[in-house]
Amino acid sequence: MKLQFREPGINPAVLSGWEDAPPRKGFFTDTSICIGCKACEVACKEWNHVPEDGLEWLGTSYDNTGSLGASTWRHVAFIEQPIAKPASENGIASNGSANPDFRWLMSSDVCKHCTEAGCLDVCPTGALFRTEFGTVVVQDDICNGCGYCVPACPFGVIDRRDGSDSAKNVGIAQKCTLCYDRIGAGMTPACAQACPTESIQFGDLDELRVRAQERIELLHQQGNKSARLYGEDPNDGIGGAGAIFLLLDEPEVYGLPPNPVVTTRDLPEMWKRAGAAALALIVGLAAASLKR
Ligand code: SF4
Ligand code: SF4
Ligand code: SF4
C-alpha cells in the first residue's frame, strides 16, 4: 500500500512518478444544462462494453439505473424536487406554467478521479493506478476481486460486478476509466462526446476550473444563488476532484457527501500510534522478564 502525497494543487501524476506528465485531464459537469437524455450513459456502455444494469422502473423516479456501480460508470440522476421559489430559478416545468411547484434536477455523476484516491491507496495488487493524465484507472486483468477499494471510496463509486459466471469481469472491481484509451489517442471521452448540451466538458483541469468559476458567477448574477461548485477545491478532504460539478442545490440532494474525506487520510497517524503501542508493549515485557 502506497499512500498518495498530500500537496494541494500538485498534479498527482507527477507525484506518482510520471516524468513529463501532460496537463491533468478531467471533467466539468454543468448540471444546470443537463436535459437528462442519458446519451452519456449509453455512450459509455457502448464504447466500454459495459453490460446492461437493469431496466426496471425504480418507483422512486423516472431514472432506471439508480446509482453508479460496476456496470453504470456514468449515472444520470433525475431528482424531482418540490419548490417554493421564483420561476426564474426553476429547472424544467411540469406543465409549462410560469410557477410550477417542482423542478427537475438532472445530474450526470461519475468517478471523481480524486487527487487523494482511497481506492488506489488500499489496492494490494496495483490493479488501480494513477495515469499520466492524473486519472485513476482499474486494470481488470490485474484486479483479484478482493474488494478493498469498495469501502475505501468516499463516494460509493467503485464496485465489483455481479452477474452470471458467463458475464464479463464478474467479481472484478469496475468504474469509469475517464476513457483512458480514447484520451491517450487524443480523443474526447465517449460520454462528453455524446452530450448534446455540453453539460459534460472534458479538458485540462486548470482550464475547466476557470470555466466553472465563470459559469457559477454568471448563474449567481442571474439570481440563482443556490448554485455551487463541487469538488473544485484542492484543499478539500480529497485534495480536489478530477471531475468537478456545478450543482443547483446542496450536494446531499444529489446523493453526494457534503464534505468527502479520503478514507486513508488518518492511516499514517494510526500506524504511528500502533507502532508506539507495540514498542511500549515490548519494552514492558522485556522489563518484566528482567525482574524475574
Ligand atoms: S471517486 Fe472513488 S473510485 Fe473514483 S478515484 Fe475517488 S476514491 Fe477512487
Ligand atoms: S469517461 Fe469514458 S469510461 Fe468514464 S463515464 Fe465517460 S464514457 Fe464512461
Ligand atoms: S448527455 Fe448531457 S444532457 Fe444528456 S443526460 Fe448526459 S449530461 Fe445530461
Same domain, 283 and 204: no
Same domain, 111 and 239: yes
Kindly state the helix (H) or strand (E) to which residue 39 belongs, with its residue range: helix 39-48
- The yes-or-no verdict on residue 267 having pLDDT over 80 is no
Residue from 67, 109, 119, 121 whose mutation best tests the ligand 1 pocket (most atoms within 8 A of CB): 119
> Is there a domain that residue 47 lies in?
yes
Q: Which of 131, 136, 132 is nearest to 116 (CA)?
A: 136
Q: What is the pLDDT of residue 139?
A: 97
The three cell numbers of residue 113 are 478521479
pLDDT tens for each residue of 156-196? 999 999 987 777 899 999 999 999 999 999 999 999 999 99
Same domain, 222 and 271: no
Percent of the chain with pLDDT over 70: 90
Query: Quick check: 108 and 40 in contact, CB under 8 A?
Result: yes
Same domain, 152 and 244: yes
Same domain, 233 and 277: no
- CA 149 – ligand 1 centroid, Å: 9
Same domain, 209 and 291: no
Same domain, 186 and 154: yes
Task: Give the position, in ligand 3's atom list, of the atom nearest the Cα of 76.
Answer: 5
Beta bridge partners of 76: 108
Residue from 136, 177, 205 whose mutation best tests the ligand 1 pocket (most atoms within 8 A of CB): 136
Rounded to 5 degrees, φ, ψ at 119 are -60, -40
Structural domain harbouring 126: 12-261
Residue from 61, 76, 202, 254 whose mutation best tests the ligand 3 pocket (most atoms within 8 A of CB): 76
Task: Give the position, in ligand 1's atom list, of the atom nearest the Cα of 156.
Answer: 2
Same domain, 164 and 280: no
Same domain, 209 and 290: no
Same domain, 284 and 186: no
Residues in the chain: 292
- The yes-or-no verdict on residue 9 having pLDDT over 60 is yes
> Is ligand 3 within 6 A of the CB of residue 77?
no
Same domain, 82 and 138: yes
The three cell numbers of residue 65 are 439505473
> Is ligand 2 within 6 A of the CB of residue 189?
yes
**Cα distances (angstroms) measured from residue 278 to each of 150, 199, 290:** 29, 53, 18
Residue 150, judged by CB atoms within 10 A of its CB (0-12, 13-18, 19+), counts as middle
Q: Label residue 141 by pLDDT band (50, 70, 90).
A: very high
Q: Label residue 2 by pLDDT band (50, 70, 90).
A: very low
Task: Give the range among 152-156, 175-179, 261-265 with minimum mean pLDDT.
Answer: 261-265
Domain holding 141: CATH number?
A: 3.30.70.20
- CA 156 – ligand 1 centroid, Å: 8
What is the average per-residue pLDDT within 120-125? 96
pLDDT tens for each residue of 75-91? 999 998 887 655 555 45
> Is ligand 2 within 6 A of the CB of residue 183?
no
Same domain, 201 and 271: no
Q: Give the total number of structural domains in the chain.
A: 2
> Is there a domain that residue 132 lies in?
yes
Q: Which of 231, 259, 255, 235 is nearest to 245 (CA)?
A: 231
pTM reported for the whole predicted model: 0.87
